[in-house]
Amino acid sequence: MISPLAYVDPDAKIGQNVDILPFAYIEKNVVIGDNCTIMAHASILSGTRMGSGNKVYQSAILGATPQDFKFKGEDTILKIGDNNTIREKVTINRATNREGITEIGNGCFLMEGVHIAHDTKVGNDCIIGNGSKIAGECILNDKSILSSGVILHQGCRVGSWTMIKGGCRSNKDIPPYIVAAHNPITYYGINAVIMARHGFNNEIIDNIAKAYRQIYQCSTSLPNAVKRIKEEIPMSPEIRSILDFIEHSERGIIALNKD
């Protein structure tokens, strides 16, 4: 159902069984997949490519031009996957250049007032809390959770199964499977409760804890901690994920909680 009070550009491609409520605004060069709901006063702007089963709430703005001085007015892309919930006043910018992309995966929940800047990539099943602000070119891996009011500096990475507590600000990478807290942001332990609820067995959780004990609690350098992990902890996809994340960190990882 498309309300006669909504504006839908004739060149927009709208899938089957899509509800577009009064006063929604859909520009040209937009693709909306099947079974989506676009609520009142939401704006879906040029360059947005949306999959199926998404729900976009009031006053959200998707595909806004990037807040980046390098942007020269090119036609660029925001890609949104399937089955996402995008709540009120969320803003997501499209990419700065044609070669780039801003991307949201599948099954994410973006709460009220979230901002996601240009060229950021959000994985699958992520939760981003009220008022969190994600700068450009960040990467949030699958299953990451940001509580309310989190601020990420440009280019930061967040590992899978990581939880960042409310109000944290980070200009460093935040490794997988941990809880991050405080300001300045610090390592606060592993995300054991969430992992256990989602089927991680005790042995895997224990090995993840041992790995982070080497990194954060053994008073040694990060290269030496990595060496000890490789020598002392059974290799698994989870341990490999930790090591790969550290190896590819350009900003460095967050520090230890010293309380």
How many CB atoms neighbour CB 146 within 10 A? Answer: 30
Catalytic residue among 119, 123, 125, 159: 119
184 upstream amide cis, omega within 30 of 0:
yes
Mean pLDDT of the chain: 96
195-256 architecture in CATH?
Up-down Bundle (1.20)
Find the range with the poorest average confidence among 18-22, 70-74, 92-96, 204-208. 70-74
Q: With beta carbons less than 8 A apart as the criterion, state whether 180 and 170 touch.
A: yes
At residue 257, the pLDDT reads 63
Instruction: Find out if CATH 2.30.30.90 is the number for domain 7-137.
Output: no
Helix (H) or strand (E) holding 208: helix 202-216
198, pLDDT greater than 60:
yes
- Tell me, yes or no, if 119 is annotated catalytic: yes
Catalytic residue among 33, 63, 100, 118: 118
SS (H, E, C) 117-183: CCCCEECCCCEECCCCEECCCCEECCCCEECCCCEECCCCEECCCCEECCCCEECCEECCCEEEECC
- Tell me, yes or no, if 153 is annotated catalytic: no
Catalytic residue among 47, 51, 113, 136: 136
Which tokens go with 176?
């997988």
User: pTM for this structure?
Assistant: 0.95
Domain ranges of the chain: 7-137, 195-256
